[in-house]
């Protein structure tokens, strides 16, 4: 499981001109699910997202997590994070989970983040989404449950 976590001052997801999810201050989390991902991968990613101390405290040091900072999470499924572009010019998505499996883990991720006490909004799975954001910092963190980077 892979995630791109961006600290934002605002982000929203639009599907066919309808805003389906938006947050102000918080995190935009793009989530990719790979074949073979399981509960340990989900636990790792969700614990990292909930606990990342990437918001400034009173001394302007990154010491606060999203909940401490009063922020929310916008979780968006993005299977292209599972793309492999090492060979050739066209990425291979052969290691991405099937849509049914990916949706299951995506929904479980949203539930796990909510269970951690976070306010969570989502995109709409398996649709063409327009994602807009204002990256605050910019701060962008890459997570991989298999710890390849």
SS3 state at 82:
helix
Q: Which of 68, 80, 126, 140 is catalytic?
A: 80
Which tokens hold the place of 97? 């989970």
The verdict on whether 14 is a catalytic residue reads no
The length of the chain is: 149
**Element containing residue 45 per DSSP (H, E):** helix 39-51
Active-site entry in 6, 12, 55, 78 = 78
Question: Active site residue: 6, 12, 55, 79, which one?
Answer: 79
> Active site includes 125?
no
- Cis peptide leading into residue 9 (ω within 30°): no
Distance separating alpha carbons of residues 91 and 84, to the nearest angstrom: 5
Q: Is 59 a catalytic residue?
A: no
Catalytic residue positions?
78-80
């Amino acid at each position: 499981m892979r995630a791109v976590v961006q600290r934002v001052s605002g982000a929203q997801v639009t599907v066919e001109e309808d805003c389906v999810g938006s947050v102000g201050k918080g995190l935009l989390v793009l989530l990719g699910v790979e074949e073979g991902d399981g509960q340990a991968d989900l636990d790792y990613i969700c614990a990292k997202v909930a606990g990342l101390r990437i918001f400034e405290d009173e001394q302007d040091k990154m010491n606060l997590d999203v909940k401490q900072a009063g922020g929310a999470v916008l979780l968006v499924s993005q299977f292209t994070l599972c793309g492999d572009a090492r060979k050739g010019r066209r990425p291979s998505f052969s290691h991405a989970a099937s849509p049914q499996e990916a949706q299951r883990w995506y929904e479980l991720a949203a539930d796990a983040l909510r269970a951690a006490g976070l306010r969570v909004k989502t995109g709409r799975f398996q649709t063409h989404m327009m994602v807009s954001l204002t990256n605050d910092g910019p701060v962008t963190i890459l997570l991989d449950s298999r710890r390849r980077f």
